[in-house]
Amino acid sequence: MQLRCAVLDDFQGVATEMADWSPVSGEVEVISFTEHFPGEDTLAAALADFDIVVTLRERVLFPASLLARLPRLKLLIASGMRNSVIDYAAAEAHGVTVCGTPSSSTPPVELTWALLLGLARGIVTEHNALRAGGPWQSTVGADLHGRRLGLLGLGKIGGRVAQVGLAFGMQVGAWSQNLTKERADEVGVELAASKEELLASSDFVSVHLALGDRTRGLIGAAELDLFKPTAYLVNTSRAAIVDQDALLAALHGGRIAGAGVDVFDIEPLPADHPMRSAPRLLATPHLGYVSRANYETYYGAAVEDIQAFLAGTPVRRLG
């Protein structure tokens, strides 16, 4: 009997086009879902008859309670090689093998700059006005050359964002709890004396940290109050690093010039979520990892994971 594989959150309906699934077609029936399943009950019902599940990034939680309700599940594949929303101990207890895939840091770097430039030059405002017959020029762009870019995190993604900032002629500083002067010197940026100094002195602040106990709520009301009123915040990392209520208050109160956000506390974002109508906000629906090359990598590697699992030699195991 064929195994059944569910591909979750295939919003664009491209999962089966981005990779060659024929190597497993004789043994596995692949079904992609273009709609998100909200809540554990809905998800458990939808996945009850599947042996394999492919999930994108960390959008869908797989806690012990859900894994216990999926008795047929034997293989769970998550894109990327790090996933904080899977209960690995519970997966092992229920006989579920968890595997990952390669992932590129290039797409989120590029989206970070798309948001930053869109904010700085009022691209969406000016585009909408031009298309609607509105005013010819209504914004005055913020300059990048000579301005200070502050990076929270200088890892693989933060380091590449820094290189682009330097190419624009920006002064680039960085801070994180573990950042060393050696790493800052390696990238060619200034190590900020403190988080507070970085926030208070930067014209653009971009978040590139992993979410954990030390980074959750790292940017709250007190930190946003340190921003220059002309400064912008960009977050393509994880929503919970920035206090969402505090950010909304800062945007509505005009305490910062604007924000570019690709990540949210609830995804997909409900139709009535206040982030959809916040002023001074340029928002995208978690597109950081969404690019053709990344999708080809994710789904191509998912096929490899399934092949290896069927052969009894799982690869890229997580947990």
Is 131 designated active site?
no
Alpha carbons 294 and 175: distance in angstroms, whole number: 28
User: Is 215 within 8 Å of 242 (Cβ atoms)?
Assistant: no
Is 238 designated active site?
yes
User: What ranges in the chain are assigned the alpha helix state H?
Assistant: 40-47, 64-67, 88-93, 106-120, 123-131, 156-167, 181-187, 195-201, 221-224, 244-253, 292-310
Q: Which of 94, 267, 273, 316 is catalytic?
A: 267
Q: Which of 147, 208, 286, 304 is catalytic?
A: 286
**Contact residues for 127 (Cβ-Cβ < 8 A; gap 6+):** none
Is 267 designated active site?
yes
Q: Which of 208, 223, 238, 304 is catalytic?
A: 238
Q: Which two tokens stand for residue 4?
A: 């059944």
Q: Which two tokens stand for residue 107?
A: 């797409």
Q: Which two tokens stand for residue 15?
A: 């999962």
User: Is 105 within 8 Å of 83 (Cβ atoms)?
Assistant: no
Chain centroid, CA 112 distance in Å: 10
Active-site residues, by number, are: 238, 267, 286
